[in-house]
Structure 1
């Protein structure tokens, strides 16, 4: 038996609003924020797209590219956005930004909202891809590119998280560290929470005399500070490898509060290559990702998809290990 397609009446009833309000919303008219969220929640939660919505998706699209970001205060997102904006302008396109504050429901609302506004394509800087995301991508019938995450069904531009994690692991071992703490994030974030850690772990599996503990925190510097304080007090590692530069900055503060010298008493590394890591003292050894370049490539690729041109399913962004003063050479010290 076929699934009954939603009508405006169905949506209005479920949302508790008038049919005219739903019609006004679907046609881009003015409705209150509360009403808008009610209607969008019905569209998302029921798994249906109303006829009028589906028809509007077939209408002539604009030269606008919708870009969904998880946080406004993210260095990576900001640099990526700069690259996207510059490249889109060069290609005579415009960028429309939606911030989700790491709320998955808001992320889905943004995707459907962009489709209703008839954007030509969507660039999504997601932290995770759920079944609801995949359902949305199928329904909106608009080209989508993921930046920073990989999914085999969706065009993706990824930073080489596994490979850079492996290179950081080899570097730490080369410096003679064997009592190691890795401070990561939730594994719901496949790129940062899983791939970086797995690459690092693979490098350490190649030696036999290594003691490594894996810990978890959030992306917050203050949360990293608290977690690092506990790690330092309980395990006294020679180095803490941090999954992001933000986490590393929190660890640096924790070490300072404990009266530890960097790198003599505790070595610290990060991932990201944020500008601040070069100007702080001591400078932070880190993996630099080229976020602006990645944004430019993502912009070029989404425009190609909009124009029906071929694009690789997965594009890899480059990285580089930047060695500074935050890592002690334990082999020299032993000698």
Structure 2
């Protein structure tokens, strides 16, 4: 007859921590391979967890949320949607702001791992090797938002598809020279995928010269890059990685006596409410950020409950045709 074993014994035999075994018995998220190993051991030794062990591992009903900034329309939509969904499910959110710093993002992730949260949603700035290690070692379920992460569970926007749609839209107007106001490549979604989509879309309708610059997400960065583009000669269009960068471009073009769209077409991404107030209203793309927040929150709760979830979910976007791109 098999000897009587404890949770600590199961953890040793399965090569995991005792908290992982406790999570398994309390219906929490455990990797499929680990789950199968624990099941084999419990069957072999006829192990039955006691009620007190279950009580000690009681859930906190708190979900940690890491966001790149609080000064963003898109982030505010995502956070609002997460909060609404989780409140309806009896959960609260604990929000950590990374201020666009990958180092602080990692610290926020590590801090949440030490707290008694049931799961974590991380709207990642970039997936560094250190962040990847933190996600993989996290004792609770993690869902990554806004960045590709093949090793984990993600909810992302179609940055490449959106970029290509906007590039093709501007490309059909026949520009000879285009300025692209982008962000650093460390942000793979916006800095690389969105930019590549724009470039491919432009090439569908000719082969314009493209002056591609990188900055940060600020209004001031939009101004700086727009000035730099114009210093290198006239352009027919400026495509901006975000609406906030487009706001800076508008100001610089006005300062130079250039009209939108008669002299220079301008386009952005984000669909900010303020973009409709510009003169002329900005042509932009609005991602379904509320869907991203909802799907992220729904997914992490399913993982906590041990339910199957898709590895990757993609949210759609809406094209908002303003008056800032010249007639085709």
When the two structures are superposed, what TM-score results if normalisation uses the length of structure 1?
A: 0.78
Runs of at least 5 residues in structure 2 that lack an aligned partner in the other structure: 1-55
Cα deviation, residue 220, structure 1? 1.0
Q: Which residue of 2 aligns with 1:260?
A: 258
Report the number of matched residues. Answer: 273
Aligned to 2:108: 110
**Structure 2 residue aligned with 1:299:** 297
Aligned-residue offset at 1:207 = 4.0
Report the Cα distance in structure 2 between the residues aligned to 1:234 and 1:280, rounded to whole angstroms: 26
Q: Distance in 2 between matches of 1:85 and 1:171?
A: 35
Secondary structure at the counterpart of residue 70 of structure 2:
coil
What is the CA–CA distance in structure 2 between the aligned matches of 1:235 and 1:157, rounded to whole Å? 40
What secondary structure does 1:272 align onto? coil
Aligned to 1:219: 217
CA, structure 1 residues 59+235, in 2 after alignment: closer, same or farther (shift >3 Å)?
Answer: farther
What does the per-residue CA deviation read over 1:48-94, in whole Å, with 9 as the maximum and x for residues that have no partner? xxxxxxxxxx9433111100011121111111100000011111111
**TM-score scaled by length of structure 2:** 0.80
| 1:235 shift after superposition | 2.1
Query: In the alignment, what sits opposite 2:208?
Result: 210
Deviation at 1:286, TM superposition (A): 0.4
Report deviation, 1:106: 2.1
User: d(CA) in 1 for partners of 2:243 and 2:261?
Assistant: 16
Q: How does 1:73-92 map to 2 (within 5 A)?
A: 73-92=71-90
Q: Which residue of 1 aligns with 2:193?
A: 195
* Equivalent residue, structure 1, for 2:36: none
The residue matched to 1:248 in structure 2 has which SS? helix
How far did residue 208 of structure 1 move? 4.1
Distance 1:95 1:158 in 2: 20
Among 130, 146, 149, which residue is 1:148 paired with? Answer: 146
Matched residue SS, 2:291? helix
- Asked if structure 1 preserves the Cα contact closer than 8 Å seen for 2:160 and 2:193, the reply is yes
Gaps in structure 1 of 5+ consecutive residues: 1-57
**Cα distance between partner residues in 1 of 2:224 and 2:106:** 32
Q: CA deviation at 1:214?
A: 1.4
Matching residue of 1:182: 180
Choose which of 279, 282, 285 in structure 2 pairs with 1:281.
279
Could you tell me how far 1:113 is from its partner in structure 2? 1.7
Q: Distance in 1 between matches of 2:135 and 2:58?
A: 19
RMSD value, Cα: 1.4
Q: Is the 8 A contact 2:63 2:94 kept in 1?
A: yes
Could you tell me which residue of structure 2 aligns to residue 314 of structure 1? 312
Deviates more, 1:134-143 or 1:124-133: 134-143
Q: Does the aligned pair in 1 maintain the 2:171–2:206 contact within 8 Å?
A: no
